[in-house]
Amino acid sequence: MDDTPRHRPRELDAILADAERAGFAMSCEDRTGSLLATLAATKPGGRFLELGTGSGAGAAWLAIGMSSSARLTTVETDIDVQAIARRHLDHDRRIEFVTADADDFLSTYEGEPFDFAYVDCRPGKYHRLLDLLRLLQPGALYVVDDMLPQATWPEDHQPRVNGFLAQLPERPNLRATPMRWSSGLVVGARI
């Protein structure tokens, strides 16, 4: 079984090349991206949230799954790395780029609840999971990656991941499935 994605966002190679030039090595894997696109396609007209834009690889994958009336808000604290994403994806009027700390975003967001959250930084995953889940509609999807050891992890990171995975079954409003696939995923549904 060859699970290499056949359909990739047209901006992806240029995004990854710019990310490499900028020394940014945390873009999502293609298989993760492909799953994001597939899951995004289950929410026509949906409101999408990404915490941690990086250089825009995840956003590009989400965008190829999103319908024309869907909207993505993607939040990043590093203006320089997010500039790569803006450069390649700004033409897509469905995407709103927010330059902010995800902690602040979680504290101040007052808009409509989301149908999908791809959480790719610490807030909303390793801390403030409950605040993130409060922003999701029942039935919304919650996706995180990098649950398996990554070269970019700091030395003290494994216990953080272990703690996150261990408490998932105790969350009464999330039905989550850990997946030992791609970089290690959790796919959950807000209940």
Q: Which helix (H) or strand (E) holds 92?
A: none
The CA-atom distances, in angstroms, between 49 and each of 17, 83, 163, 191 are 24, 18, 24, 18
Integer Cα distance of 136 and 6 in angstroms: 31
Rounded least distance, CB 172 to ligand SAM, Å:
26
Integer Cα distance of 64 and 89 in angstroms: 11
Integer Cα distance of 96 and 83 in angstroms: 13
Q: Which residues within the stretch 34-93 sit at the binding site for ligand SAM (CB under 6 A)?
A: 50-52, 54, 57-58, 75-78, 81
- Cβ atoms of 111 and 148 closer than 8 Å: no
| Cα-based angle 97, 103, 108 (whole degrees, multiple of 5) | 75
Shorter beta-carbon distance to ligand SAM: residue 27 or 34: 27
Q: Which residues within the stretch 13-32 sit at the binding site for ligand SAM (CB under 6 A)?
A: 26-28
Is 101 a binding residue for ligand SAM by CB under 6 A? The answer is yes
Rounded least distance, CB 90 to ligand SAM, Å:
16
Query: Residues 125-164 vs ligand SAM: string with x where CB under 6 A?
Result: ----------------------------------------
Rounded least distance, CB 108 to ligand SAM, Å:
13
Shorter beta-carbon distance to ligand SAM: residue 57 or 63: 57
Shorter beta-carbon distance to ligand SAM: residue 75 or 147: 75
Return the DSSP state at 186.
Answer: E
Q: Which residues contact ligand SAM (rule: CB under 6 A)?
A: 26-28, 50-52, 54, 57-58, 75-78, 81, 101-103, 120-123
